Structure 1
Amino acid sequence: MKEFIVVPKYLWDGSAAAVAEHQAVLIRDGVVAKIGGKEQLTAEAPSAQLMENEDWLMLPAFVDAHDHGRGMSPVSFGAPDQALEMWLQDLNKLPAIPHYTACYYDGIRLASCGVGTVLHSHNPNDFSKIKDEMIATARGYKDAGVRSILCPLYLDQNKRIYYNRDQFIASLPEPLRTSFAAGIRDQIMTMDQYLELVEAIRDGLKEEIAQGWVEIQLHPNGGQWCSDGALLRMKEYALAHGMNIHLHLLETQYQAEYAQRTWGKSFIKHYQDIGFLGSWVSFAHAVWLDEEDLQLIAASGARLVTNPSSNLRLRSGTFNMRRAAQLGLHCGIGLDGCAFDDDQDYLREIRVAWLNNRHNGVDGNVPYLDVLKMATSGGASVAASQLSPGVIREGANADFVCVSLNKIFSPYTDPGLDPLAILVQRATRDSVELTFVNGVQTWEKSETFRNKEAQAEKQICDVIRQLRAADDGKRDNSVLLAHVHDFYAK
């Protein structure tokens, strides 16, 4: 039996209205066994290792509720930030980094800023090898010390262009017209084949799933990319197997326009009409929602995930956080592989989410506790199995982070200010002292862990250089991008 006691200066359990002082946490075999005073817990477990530091603020490990495990930003490969519909056309410049390598490196960076769980929206290198890629993905994250919610993608329509695609293709000059059309294959697999794939992934990762390191979700890639028939089949399967569904939705104004042109109503109203909207589904981005959409989501129990840096970088818009908070929606925060400074710093992402909400002026404020709950219990609610608890409570898995008070209070802060407020305003990954997942230390600000990160960084860079020796990734997409721009602008 492995047990230890953490004694921070302040403890926030993820649900209370304020931090607690003079509280310690007894962790036994990866689970929070008891919360109480230091003397009480040391008397109860006299042989437990004592981890005590007056510099620590202890809180639940964060949940990165939507990401892609790219390992390296597209900017590194000549795919600069621009509107999503144009940016997607540039992703053919990216090298096919092995998923274990990318997710191991990403996982270490996530652990270094207090993340314990990541929802991974999978971009395949090879559609014929998705099962092997997903197993490698899960093991990369696990070896880095991060739980993963794995989402193997499915699409069956509208690849590359959402609406009037034939008209768009006809407008292209040759030889671009022929090459663009040849690259389109909407349905890579049937729905039967997709569900068989999901079962094969679950079987290949049954040990990791049983250990609480992995969950599998169904993943229609996005509303405009998946037919109603596919969505309803996924819902039927998900409900029968106790699974959740996760998809990109309403990231851009053009996606909102697609719904209006297709059904004469929004995606959310359409999904309500066909019976797809419910507590089994979560939507990433969710920027272009109107008041009725938000009311329907609140009534249905569906979850939302905001990706604030990504939405800024890809010119998508801003999430209506204030209204979502007023309605009590279950919301998480995801990095989307597009953190503000290409550094996967989740603590900075919390701040971007808090500041970049749609409302301005005197009524624009969102309580900082709301955004911290989004980063913890809100993100955790996206998982069907509650893979990570998102709170520190007795009986829950011991997923937590300790942040340095000296770092967030430096260079000066008045005594008596709420450390949670200062954390939201100032914290970065440099503030993180320790991260634990399942009671296992996955990060410490030490030479050992920094060397581990440096080695992972060297490994991924070496792999990229090898891939670039075979294909330098030089693609001149300028003519295509000009046509895509004009098509959506009109």
Structure 2
Amino acid sequence: MILEGRPLRFGEGCAACAPLRLTLRADRVAMAEPAGPEAAANILMPPFANAHDHARGIRPTALAAFDLPLEIWLATMTGAPVCDPWLVVAAALGRQALGGCGAIMVHYTRPQNPARLEEELRDVVRAARAVGVRVAIAVSMRDRNALGYAPDEVILARLPPETRALVETRLLTPPRPPAEQLRLADALAESCNDPLVTVQYGPYGLEWCSDALLSAIAERSATTGRRIHMHLLESRIQREYLDAEHPEGPVHHLDRLGLLSPRLSLAHCTLLRPDEMELLAERGVTVSVNTSSNLHLRNGIPPMAEMHRRGVPLATGLDGFTVDDDDDAFRELRLNALLHRGTSQDEGLPLDALFSAACAGGRQAVTGQPPAEPMAEGAPADIMLLDRAALAADLVLESPDAALVAQRATRGALRRMVVAGREVVRDGALTGLDLPALQAELDAQARHGAEGARNWREATAPLRKALRDFYAAGLHRCG
């Protein structure tokens, strides 16, 4: 396979990068040599890496779950229609591939049927193979606080009897012991023989995991070298709850449990304090910034530029809730560029640092592989080809390619995407799946379950009201 274009290398602007002709063999770049001037009509760059996602094939907006604070949104999403898990994951991965994502973190927190979790995790592997992207499966682990930021009985006590019975039956199942949860992740990792799929430990978050579970995960990660991915400090209410529970601060508490290391990536971190940023930087922990999701769920804007200044390794994620609800990583790049660029003459996040986070930082969080110079001989054959001619059609003065992509590119600019030497996207379509047909089948299944979802949402309205009242009264801060 041969690709030609102007290479976009972070930090160089690439306004004057000479076109390259890349020859790909197997899963590597076999040769990189000069190309003719006609190749300047294209841009070559690494694919984006979505460093935090949940593979939601049915998007929240389709379920009328939007414009809600995080804690109420989580309760609202409990009644989603049950669909074929392979369809759910394949649709999500396929849409993200079309949006430029060649590597994706799947934090598998909401199985369609918890009783067949092992089978569903293997469905994730099958879907990744069919689409052709690199995937990390963060096997979700939790053992407390299923309903909110308090012991379940505290929330249940605030519900009328009929709602309490429904919630107990559907949402409260005894958690598996920590050892069993670890065995599940280890067994999946040992049985998965796909070089594009890795398995990570996926503790849901400090709010939802006991110290015993988190300590066991930290110890097993240190023994096996397996990576860990989890949520942290996504919302103001989480910050208040965790500060009350851990007076030394949640980040320092995680450090005391042995979790902070270069093997850990954290999603969100919207409300980090300076000392916590410095500790994460010191420990080499990667933070996945999920800007669109944070805006949709009223969590604010993460301090991405400040984290960068303090040396925190950064990545970016889509979290299944992009700015236009279309899984377009190019639009997410632009939103991050605009929100984190600084104000007035105060410089914020440099553009090259944003590209590095969106591509290299995320890829390392997903694959665990250290960054390598992209598009060089011997490098992995993970490359996107963009239509530069369309992006630059009206340019009067030359602009750096990085700025051009950040200012204008959408998924429509993506002509080809290659992952591990396999062409995954060509001219707006997946090569391995008929995504429109797959999405249509998934949508039909979801609509078939619409009445049940509507009935559940109506029946559990008292739960959402109880949670609103509980947090409004500050009861989550009781520590």
Q: 1:390 to 1:330 in 2, by over 3 A?
A: farther
Which blocks of at least 5 consecutive residues in structure 1 are unaligned? 40-51
Match of 1:44 in 2: none
Equivalent in 136, 140, 149 of residue 136 of structure 2: 149
Match of 2:317 in 1: 334
Kindly indicate whether the alpha-carbon contact (under 8 Å) linking 1:107 and 1:145 is maintained by their aligned counterparts in 2.
no
Match of 1:461 in 2: 443
Whole-Å separation in 2 of the counterparts to 1:288 and 1:394 = 41
Whole-Å separation in 2 of the counterparts to 1:473 and 1:204 = 40
Task: Note the C-alpha offset of 1:260.
Answer: 1.3
Q: 1:273 to 1:112 in 2, by over 3 A?
A: same
SS at 1:151 equivalent: strand
More off after superposition, 26-35 vs 445-454: 445-454
Q: Which residues in structure 2 correspond to 1:44-443 (within 5 Å)? A: 53-122=39-108, 123-163=110-150, 165-185=152-172, 187-206=174-193, 208=194, 212-357=195-340, 360-363=343-346, 365-383=348-366, 385-386=368-369, 391-410=374-393, 412-443=394-425
Kindly indicate whether the alpha-carbon contact (under 8 Å) linking 2:418 and 2:425 is maintained by their aligned counterparts in 1.
yes
Whole-Å separation in 1 of the counterparts to 2:227 and 2:132 = 23
Give the aligned residue type for 1:275.
G
Whole-Å separation in 1 of the counterparts to 2:373 and 2:467 = 41
Whole-Å separation in 1 of the counterparts to 2:140 and 2:432 = 33
Same amino acid, percent of matched pairs: 26
Give the aligned residue type for 1:352.
L
Kindly indicate whether the alpha-carbon contact (under 8 Å) linking 1:65 and 1:334 is maintained by their aligned counterparts in 2.
yes
CA deviations on 1:198-247 (whole Å, 9 max, x unpaired) are 132124322x1xxx210000010111111122112111111221210000
Task: Note the C-alpha offset of 1:482.
Answer: 2.3
TM-score if structure 2 supplies the norm length? 0.91
Kindly indicate whether the alpha-carbon contact (under 8 Å) linking 1:307 and 1:353 is maintained by their aligned counterparts in 2.
no
Is it true that 1:478 corresponds to 2:464 in the alignment? Answer: no
Q: 1:15 to 1:416 in 2, by over 3 A?
A: closer
RMSD of aligned residue pairs (Cα, Å):
2.5
Kindly indicate whether the alpha-carbon contact (under 8 Å) linking 1:105 and 1:144 is maintained by their aligned counterparts in 2.
no
Q: 1:358 to 1:440 in 2, by over 3 A?
A: closer
Kindly indicate whether the alpha-carbon contact (under 8 Å) linking 1:377 and 1:390 is maintained by their aligned counterparts in 2.
no
Whole-Å separation in 2 of the counterparts to 1:279 and 1:451 = 35
Which blocks of at least 5 consecutive residues in structure 2 are unaligned? 474-479
Q: 1:103 to 1:233 in 2, by over 3 A?
A: same
CA deviations on 1:46-79 (whole Å, 9 max, x unpaired) are xxxxxx7432100001101111111121221232
CA deviations on 1:365-396 (whole Å, 9 max, x unpaired) are 32111111111101012135429968333322
Q: 1:390 to 1:105 in 2, by over 3 A?
A: farther
Task: Note the C-alpha offset of 1:426.
Answer: 1.6
Q: Which has the higher contact order (CA 8 A, sep 6+)?
A: 2
Whole-Å separation in 2 of the counterparts to 1:358 and 1:186 = 45
Q: 1:316 to 1:187 in 2, by over 3 A?
A: farther
Q: 1:201 to 1:390 in 2, by over 3 A?
A: farther
Whole-Å separation in 2 of the counterparts to 1:203 and 1:300 = 28
Whole-Å separation in 1 of the counterparts to 2:341 and 2:251 = 19
Task: Note the C-alpha offset of 1:296.
Answer: 0.3
TM-score if structure 1 supplies the norm length? 0.89
Query: How many correspondences in the alignment?
Result: 470
